[in-house]
Structure 1
Amino acid sequence: MMKNITNISYKVLLFLVILIPFNLNSKTVVDLIKTNPDLSLFYSHLKETGLEEVLEKKLPWKWTVFAPTNKAFKSIPQTAKDKILSDKSFSKSLMMDHLLTGQKISSDFGEDATTVVTVSNKPLQLFKKDSLFVKDMVVVKENINANNGVIHHINCLMFVQPSEDDYRLTESQKRNFPITSCCMRTDTEVKEWIKSAKEKF
């Protein structure tokens, strides 16, 4: 009798060890984005641009997604909504600015900036202090794990450009920081983003 109970207990323990972690990590990045009400606007643009299907495919790599919250979309200038988000090609390019191939969690980074490249072939500089930063932008929620990648929430839409094109920087800043990434907040930034989208970055 005791032997049977022991065997049953062992099988239950084995089930808990093997199957439960799998179930906890059974959702894709799209599943997690789609079911998060704070990411509903981001999801709608992934769906409209066809990126939802790309992120759902079984591929030999995982994804890192910097997911703009609804607050981020509501804070952009109206010109960005009219000229970027309403244009499928531009919208897709902007969403791709927020995607990396390969899973990058916050513990992968230290205080020295590390340069990574987005799916849209734009470099981002990431570093970790108390929080994970994308250059000057703080990640507000880190390391949301899926079975095919990781999601980090940000409260803005990223505007990435070579520092030499950034009129706000001094010559010294341009030399020391070759890549500028910030929140898209002004009509001028919208204009510059559209210009860069039409050219080779």
Structure 2
Amino acid sequence: MADIVDIAVSAGSFNTLVQAVQAAGLVETLKSPGPFTVFAPNDDAFAKLPPGTIQTLVQNIPQLTRILTYHVVSGKLMKADLEQLQTLTSVEGSPLPLMFIEGFEVKNATVVAPDIEADNGVIHVIDTVLLMG
């Protein structure tokens, strides 16, 4: 198997996320033993953001880091584990609400591919970038 970063790079659908993680200096963290649960926005999710948002964030590393760490939870939590919970606390420190009504949602994003296992955790692919507030 591979770690979270290697899986994201090889998938080919997380190019924007990988660039953001590199810009924020979080590559080594997400390659560490963890384990981590990552709600990973795919490239289509980033494409939904208003034009210029990504460029603005890359120029504001503290804000970019806060948004990226809002997508990460400590521990390896598979979908079955998450179904028992209503809220998680992100590495950033804010709550992440979970919903299992007509599918699997975290905050305002739908999980389009759950339970992608990595050596140091699990990735759940989401269709929307999670923003705090």
| Global fold match (TM > 0.5) | yes
Q: Which residue of the other structure, out of 128, 140, 147, is the alignment partner of 2:100?
A: 128
Work out the CA distance in 1 between the residues paired with 2:52 and 2:23: 19
* Residue-pair matches, total: 133
Runs of 4+ in 1 over 2 A off after TM superposition: 78-86, 127-131
The answer to which structure has the higher helix fraction is 1
2 CA distance for matches of 1:82 and 1:143?
30
1:113-124 to 2 correspondences below 5 Å: 114-124=86-96
Q: How does 1:154-169 map to 2 (within 5 A)?
A: 154-161=126-133
Larger Rg: 1
Structure 2: runs of 5+ lacking an equivalent: none
- CA RMSD after TM alignment: 1.8
Partner of 2:54: 81
Q: 2:99, 2:106 within 8 Å by CA — same for their partners in 1?
A: yes
Instruction: Quote the Cα distance in structure 2 between the aligned partners of 1:127 and 1:113.
Output: 9
In the alignment, structure 1 residue 102 sits paired with structure 2 residue 75: yes
- Unpaired runs of at least 5, structure 1: 1-25, 162-201
Tell me the distance in 2 between the aligned counterparts of 1:104 and 1:160.
Answer: 21
Q: Which residue of 1 aligns with 2:42?
A: 69
1:130 shift after superposition: 4.9
TM-score (structure 1 length as normaliser):
0.61
Please give the TM-score of this superposition, normalised by the length of structure 2. Answer: 0.89
